[in-house]
Amino acid sequence: MAEKPRECRARVTALRALTPDVLEADLALVEPAALAFDAGQWISVPFGPKLVRAYSIASSPRTPSALTLCADVAPAGLGSQWFRGLAPGAEVAFKGPLGGFVLEPGDRRRLLLVAEEIGIVPVRAIARELAAGGFARPATLVYWARDAGWLVHDADLRALARQHRGFAYHPVTSAEGEAAGVVERLVTDVDGLVAYVAGGEAMIKAVRAVLMARGLERKAVKWEKFW
């Protein structure tokens, strides 16, 4: 179970470029020594009075002494420049954990996961947490990107689908259509379904409209907006 948000400090231990514009940073907790969080949550990094940037936690809640953050730095704004400038040994101050884009305790409904580009970070964290429990709840993931180069966790998710019969994975690029169109083709029955959708506002609205047209209640669509 996640802790209440608190001020934290951590130290960068490693950095990786998944693509030229998608970076990961591993952090070891300093204060506190461990942070309880739920898959799908995020942290906020301060850059001045009333100026913060949010970063989804990519790593597992099962390793609370370390966090992995993943970011799209293509926008080249303040947060992007900061993330690009991280180096091993650097100290990071942040507040967390934050966010309610998490699985509800005791919920046994079938899962539809939909992610657009960097929105895959919390969605993949949720999928991997489900995998750790053997996918007791069946889950389907639709992962959309402008091209194959932006499907940054494609190989990992394909491996997850091969290992678990309860997990279906559908990677899609713009050449094949939009995420909402794929959802419309895949989802014919919304009985006992809950959806988690992360990405841009336009995609979230389009997917939600498709599901509601199928009869899914609005509150059964959880979302995390990245832009």
* pLDDT of 1 over the 80 cut: no
How large is the average pLDDT for residues 26-31?
Answer: 98
Question: Could you give the CA distance from residue 180 to residue 150 in angstroms, rounded to a whole number?
Answer: 18
Domain that holds residue 183: 110-225
Same domain, 134 and 216: yes
Same domain, 88 and 114: no
CATH code, domain carrying 11: 2.40.30.10
Question: Could you give the CA distance from residue 41 to residue 101 in angstroms, rounded to a whole number?
Answer: 6
Last residue within a domain, chosen from 98, 120, 152: 98
The pLDDT assigned to 2 comes to: 82
The pLDDT assigned to 3 comes to: 84
Same domain, 154 and 195: yes
Phi and psi of 165, rounded to 5°? -65, -25
Same domain, 114 and 85: no
Question: Could you give the CA distance from residue 19 to residue 207 in angstroms, rounded to a whole number?
Answer: 27
Same domain, 69 and 28: yes
User: Is residue 105 one of the residues assigned to a domain?
Assistant: no
User: Is residue 200 one of the residues assigned to a domain?
Assistant: yes
User: Is residue 71 one of the residues assigned to a domain?
Assistant: yes
144-188 per-position pLDDT tens digit: 999 999 999 999 999 999 999 999 999 999 999 999 999 999 999
Same domain, 93 and 144: no
> Cβ(75)–Cβ(84) under 8 Å?
no
Last residue within a domain, chosen from 98, 118, 152: 98
- The total domain count for the chain is 2
Stronger pLDDT, 1 or 151, i.e. the higher one: 151
Same domain, 92 and 149: no
Same domain, 142 and 171: yes
The pLDDT assigned to 74 comes to: 93
Last residue within a domain, chosen from 98, 125, 141: 98
Same domain, 20 and 58: yes
CATH code, domain carrying 200: 3.40.50.80
The pLDDT assigned to 120 comes to: 98
The pLDDT assigned to 45 comes to: 97
Residues with Cβ within 8 Å of residue 39, at least 6 apart in sequence: 57, 60, 61, 102, 103, 122, 125, 126, 128, 129
202-220 per-position pLDDT tens digit: 999 999 999 999 999 999 9
30-86 per-position pLDDT tens digit: 999 999 999 999 999 999 888 999 999 999 999 999 999 999 999 999 999 999 999
Same domain, 147 and 187: yes
The pLDDT assigned to 111 comes to: 98
Same domain, 83 and 155: no
111-157 per-position pLDDT tens digit: 999 999 999 999 999 999 999 999 999 999 999 999 999 999 999 99
Question: Could you give the CA distance from residue 188 to residue 42 in angstroms, rounded to a whole number?
Answer: 32
User: Is residue 36 one of the residues assigned to a domain?
Assistant: yes
The pLDDT assigned to 50 comes to: 84
Residues with Cβ within 8 Å of residue 187, at least 6 apart in sequence: 112, 193, 210, 211, 214
The pLDDT assigned to 48 comes to: 84
Which three-class secondary structure state does DSSP give residue 88? Answer: coil
Same domain, 91 and 123: no
User: Is residue 104 one of the residues assigned to a domain?
Assistant: no
